[in-house]
Structure 1
Amino acid sequence: MTITNALAGIAVDDINEALDYYERLFGRPADARPMNDVAEWKLPGGGWVHVATDADRAGASSLTLVVDDLAEELGRLSLHGLTPVAKAMGDFFKTAKFRDPDGNQIVFSQPQHGTY
């Protein structure tokens, strides 16, 4: 078996409330709404982020999004009213951690030069 792609799932309590947050996070409406309680965003590398109503798991998801320029992303997100709850710089990555309204963790991560 060869794994060729991935779908990351984020569980939320209410998809309609989550849509506002994730539309600001991704800077656009969902690319697909396959069901009333699901919204999906396609990433340039081919993966998908799947946000779905799942009250039992809401707030327990974690998503890491790799970006080319973390400072640029933080500037864009700030314009949309989103601010990180934490930032860190390690030997391999710079990161900024966000929490959606349900408490799910979203981490933006930029590889350090020469490590990716």
Structure 2
Amino acid sequence: MGDLAVSNVLSGLAVRNVDAASEWMARLIGRPADARPMDGLADWHLPPHGTLQLVRDPERAGGSVVTLHVPDIAAAQAELAARGLDLQYDDNTSTKVKFGQLVDPDGNSITIIEAVAGFDPAASD
């Protein structure tokens, strides 16, 4: 049996109010949503193969987890601080990645990681 041929990934965060959550996410990503395909949804297209979606689901709001890979976590921390978001990270926690976390207003966990030189998280076991 071969691998499933996945060409894109859609990650969803359950939120109580998509409009309010979109304002916070726009600060995190650095731009407004790319699409509002229907009531209760907001999409950010994150090339090359992913979409981050806010989904109105009050019963599950705050229970989502997503990890965003960045090339330079220190630069991401500075950029997020300029946007009023406090990313704390520890570059001594792992020999493979530097990571930090943010929590959105609904309580969803957003982890930001930078792979340490020579480590490819997409190829890891």
TM-score, length-scaled by structure 2: 0.88
Q: Which amino acid aligns with 1:109?
A: I
Q: Which runs of 4+ in 1 moved over 2 A?
A: 86-89
What value does the CA root-mean-square deviation take over the aligned residues? 1.0
Is 1:112–2:116 an aligned residue pair?
yes
Residue aligning to 2:44: 41
| Greater Cα radius of gyration, structure 1 or 2 | 2
Residue aligning to 1:25: 28
Structure 1 residue runs without a partner (length 5+): none
Match of 1:103 among 81, 93, 107: 107
Q: Secondary structure at 1:33's aligned position in 2?
A: coil
State the 1:87 CA deviation: 2.2
Is 1:7–2:10 an aligned residue pair?
yes
The percentage of aligned residue pairs carrying the same residue is: 37
Q: State the number of aligned residues.
A: 115
Structure 2 residue runs without a partner (length 5+): 121-125
Encode CA deviations 1:61-93: one digit per residue, 9 max, x unaligned: 000000001111111110110002x42331100
